[in-house]
Amino acid sequence: MNAGERRAVRHYRLRGYRILARNAWAGGNELDLVVRRGRTVAFCEVKEKRGHGFGDPAEMVGPAKQRRVRRAATAWLACRPELGALAVRFDVIAIRPEGLERIEHAF
């Protein structure tokens, strides 16, 4: 797990989320973080940029990456039927030099 993912874990924990998985592989793709709070499970893609060149980290989660994360989330949940009744959300954590931004329901 890289420094950006550790910051994201801390961010979620401070807000009352339970970490269900880190760098989990499912459906042939990786899920950076799977977190839960209450009746919602969130699949989080973490993107970090140390400088301002080459665009914003949130822009790095394009349609192809979104499809891969959705496919992995579906496979991950299929192996955990006890979580099937929970609401599902897809977040992006963008880590920039000036701080961390969580984008809920990013896609």
3-state helix, strand, coil in the chain (%, to 5): 35, 40, 30
User: 60 or 65, which is more confident?
Assistant: 65
pTM above 0.75, yes or no: yes
Classify domain 1-54+84-97 at the CATH topology level: Trna Endonuclease; Chain: A, domain 1 (3.40.1350)
53 pLDDT exceeds 80?
A: no
49 pLDDT exceeds 70?
A: yes
The residues spanned by each domain of the chain are: 1-54+84-97
pLDDT in tens, 13-48: 999 999 999 999 999 999 999 999 999 999 999 998
Quote the pLDDT of residue 50.
72
Quote the pLDDT of residue 59.
83
